A = this chain, B = another copy of it.
Amino acid sequence: MSIADIIGYTAGAITSLTFLPQVIKTWKEKSAKDVSMLMFVIAALNEVLWIVYGILLNNWVIIATNAVVLSMSLCMIYLKLRYDRNNGN
């Protein structure tokens, strides 16, 4: 495995967890007023595109990475809907 491979896999692994701190923060604070719904809707739709791309290329790294990001985006959409309604935003 080359240095480029190692950097690529590391970056890919971190990318898949980028939304996690936001999910945890929103879950703990029960508020998502300042969080952009549009960002997570675009991200979720785009992850579906990435997963289709991964399927067409039969590339499981792309499929798995984007499935993780998709699940976190859907989590954030759910939390945003729930807390915005609870908080009357």
Please indicate the chain B residues that have their CB under 8 angstroms from the CB of A8 in the complex: 53
Q: Is the CB of A34 within 8 A of B39?
A: no
Decide yes or no whether A86 CB sits under 8 A from chain B.
Answer: no
Please indicate the chain B residues that have their CB under 8 angstroms from the CB of A81 in the complex: none
Decide yes or no whether A21 CB sits under 8 A from chain B.
Answer: yes
Q: Is the CB of B34 within 8 A of A25?
A: yes
Please indicate the chain B residues that have their CB under 8 angstroms from the CB of A14 in the complex: 42, 45-46, 49
Q: Is the CB of B25 within 8 A of A42?
A: no
11 contacts between A and B (CB under 8 A): A4-B56, A7-B49, A7-B53, A11-B53, A14-B46, A21-B39, A22-B36, A24-B36, A25-B38, A31-B34, A35-B35
